Amino acid sequence: MSDNNIELHKELKRLRNIELVLNESSIVVFTNQRGIIQHANDKFCELSQYSKEELIGSSHNIINSGYHSRDFFKEMWRTIGTGNIWRGEIKNKRKDGTYYWVNTIIVPFLDERGKPYQYVAIRHDITKLKEQEEVIKKMAYYDYLTFLPNRNWVNEWAKGQTRETLNNLTVLFLDLDSFKSINDKLGHYAGDNVLKDVAKRLKGCLDPEDFIVRQGGDEFIIFLTSVKNNKEAIVSIVERIKKQFTMPFYINNEQLFITVSIGISKSPEEAKFSTSLEVIEKAIVHADTAMYYAKKRYGNTHSFNTDEQNNQIDRYYNLVSELQNALSNNEFFIVYQPLIDLAKGKIIGVEALLRWKNEKLGFVSPMEFIPLLEELGLIYYVGNWVLQSVCKQMKEWQNKGILLERAAINVSPIQFNELNFVTDVKKTLEETRLEPQFLELEITEGTIMDINKSETTLSNLKDIGVGISIDDFGTGYSSLSYLKRLPINTLKIDKSFIDDLDSDGKLIVNTIITMGTNLNYKVLAEGIETADQLRYLKSQNCLEGQGYFFSKPVSPEEIEQYYYEHQK
């Protein structure tokens, strides 16, 4: 007898020894080699709702739920047909049409040739266990609020997608505009009700082949497979969605109007990625990028993803990555542009300007990296480094006999509004032993919009002895009543007005010079690039200026050279 038959006989002997137990607690069915039921115990009749008379002589198709594939049953018959024991979980259907799950062991009886002539199936009801698993699965794969699939569901769905599906996939990334204001005004319960209503409306816009996922917060992702990348069909669905948001939402009898920003991405070339999940992830990222650009256009619109958008986003993430360690890697440096006494043509001070050179990215414009420093919360640390460096440099120049009236430093609104800003300035001056009157802090008009807070900070700086200038004056919003209240030393006329002296710029420049003089402020013109500009400013009694006509921003060593050459 083969080892396999020995194992089977042991199994059968075990079953016979516990026959009474099986009859009481197990579902037992005997079939012939063709699967026709020969015997069923009471437990099986009770669970299936069929009588013994209905079961005996029938095949197991009588309880087939249609849940399992043909391949599932082919594998089961291949196993038991070769004399082996099969174990698995099967979903069956009761007589009333409801479903149940059983954990099943099928043991073949073998004849003298080793061929199965009969099978015994021992089952245990695991329906409650499977229901619990289903609840857990829903918690893991579905959003608890809207009952939409979540990103875990997408990850599982992605694994089984064909090349054809991926190549015809379009992804929409949706973000509700100004949704935070609903939570702030009406509370999160109201916000949750809005999200549930949004999910319902979005589902009504889609074809049966398409589906929607809640990304999280007020973001949704729609996967379109019905449109086959047809742009007209895509736009038709997008317009259908936007139309849903022209109708009000009602929360506690209050009428709300919400708009939506939509980013659209077609599936990228699958060949570029190793798995279907990566293709779908990339499509989601591209749709998210397009949504961001729709949002930048003040929302309530849609945007198709483009290579230019992707390049800009790649650039953004590269900048973010490299900025994290730029300060510790000593990649920042400071250049100085001379501030000139226009009447005498002599250097009276410098404006310190932050620069960044990265090994991977090269020189990066301050227009790019300074807003990112603010966004990443790094501006405080970099700003303090600039403050320390400039004060130290001014003291070194003084020790060399290079006597400048002031060094001006641009201060970010975020740094200015830090609780410890005034303390940091005072501490830096003490550490570098620089007298306060040689430091001037440049702030923008936007920084002083909160007049009460800014007035206190500026007054405290003035008490220390530090000078204050308003940078890019005239480009923002300044009230004369505000200016009169604030301890300001200098107004800097923005370069855009100097560039426009041939037309309307003269009127604005003349007004700023007159107003500043009457308020006893110094007035400095930025961006002087021509002799004509210089002559006009001198004729209007503008006393100070800076710009490429005199010098571009240069190194500390070049400032020293400039000082010696122009102080004679």
What CATH superfamily is the domain 3-131?
A: PAS domain (3.30.450.20)
516-551 confidence digits (pLDDT tens): 888 889 999 999 999 999 999 999 999 999 999 999
The tokens describing 72, both together, are: 């599932």
| Whether 466 contacts 425, CB under 8 Å | yes
Look at the block and give the residue holding tokens 């259907």: 93
pLDDT value, residue 178: 85
pLDDT value, residue 477: 56
Residues 337-363: what's their mean pLDDT?
96
Which residue type, as a one-letter code, is found at position 445? E
99-156 confidence digits (pLDDT tens): 999 999 999 999 888 899 999 999 999 999 988 888 887 788 899 899 999 988 998 8
Using CB atoms within 10 Å of the CB of residue 546, give its burial: 0 to 12 exposed, 13 to 18 middle, 19+ buried: buried
pLDDT value, residue 7: 53
Distance CA 303, CA 290 (A): 5
pLDDT value, residue 156: 86
Distance CA 39, CA 58 (A): 10
Which residue type, as a one-letter code, is found at position 200? K
- 204-211 LR contacts (CB < 8 Å, sep 24+): 204/244, 205/237, 205/240, 205/241, 205/244, 206/237, 211/149
The residue length of the chain stands at 568
Q: Residue 46: what are its φ and ψ, rounded to 5°? A: -60, -45
Output the CA torsion sign for 262, 267, 273, 278.
Answer: positive
Distance CA 249, CA 473 (A): 44
Contact partners, residue 490, CB within 8 Å, separation at least 6: 440, 467, 468, 469, 470, 521, 522, 523, 524, 544
Q: Residue 143: what are its φ and ψ, rounded to 5°? A: -70, 130
Domain 142-305 architecture: 2-Layer Sandwich (3.30)
Distance CA 470, CA 479 (A): 13
Output the CA torsion sign for 431, 436, 438, 442.
Answer: positive
Which residue type, as a one-letter code, is found at position 141? Y
| Whether 442 contacts 411, CB under 8 Å | yes
Using CB atoms within 10 Å of the CB of residue 283, give its burial: 0 to 12 exposed, 13 to 18 middle, 19+ buried: buried
| Whether 81 contacts 98, CB under 8 Å | no
Distance CA 270, CA 276 (A): 7
The tokens describing 70, both together, are: 């043909």
Instruction: Look at 275-284, 383-392, 408-417 and tell me which has the smallest mean pLDDT.
Output: 275-284
Q: Residue 48: what are its φ and ψ, rounded to 5°? A: -80, -20
| Whether 498 contacts 545, CB under 8 Å | no
Beta strands 346-358 and 332-341, pairing class: antiparallel
| Whether 463 contacts 455, CB under 8 Å | no
Domain ranges of the chain: 3-131, 142-305, 321-566
Q: What predicted TM-score, i.e. pTM, was given to this entire model? A: 0.65
Q: At what angle do helices 451-464 and 421-432 cross, to 10 degrees?
A: 20
155-203 confidence digits (pLDDT tens): 888 887 887 888 889 999 999 998 888 888 888 888 899 999 999 999 9
246-259 confidence digits (pLDDT tens): 999 988 888 889 99
278-297 confidence digits (pLDDT tens): 888 889 999 999 999 999 88
Contact partners, residue 278, CB within 8 Å, separation at least 6: none
* Residue 157 vs residues 20, 149, 200, 211, 276: alpha-carbon distances, Å: 46, 10, 22, 11, 10
pLDDT value, residue 49: 95
520 dihedral zone (left: phi>0; alpha: psi -120 to 50; beta): left
Distance CA 205, CA 397 (A): 70
Look at the block and give the residue holding tokens 């400095």: 524
pLDDT value, residue 560: 96
Instruction: Tell me which H or E stretch contains 193.
Output: helix 188-203
pLDDT value, residue 210: 92
Contact partners, residue 459, CB within 8 Å, separation at least 6: 487
Instruction: Read off the pLDDT band of 19 (50, 70, 90).
Output: very low
User: What percent of the chain clears pLDDT 90, i.e. is strictly above it?
Assistant: 65
Partners of 363 in the beta sheet?
Answer: 357
Quick count: other Cβ atoms within 10 Å of Cβ 110? Answer: 18
End-to-end CA distance of the chain: 116
> 3-state DSSP call for residue 263?
strand
Distance CA 151, CA 429 (A): 53
Instruction: Read off the pLDDT band of 20 (50, 70, 90).
Output: very low
Beta strands 439-444 and 406-410, pairing class: parallel
Res. 271: pLDDT tops 60:
no
3-state SS, 444-457, equals EHHHHCCHHHHHHH
What CATH superfamily is the domain 321-566?
A: EAL domain (3.20.20.450)
pLDDT value, residue 139: 81
CA atoms within 13 Å, Cβ hemisphere of 317: 7
Res. 21: pLDDT tops 50:
no
Res. 27: pLDDT tops 50:
yes
- Maximum Cα–Cα distance across the chain: 121
Chain mean position to CA 55: 59
Distance CA 505, CA 499 (A): 7
CA atoms within 13 Å, Cβ hemisphere of 442: 19
| Whether 167 contacts 283, CB under 8 Å | no
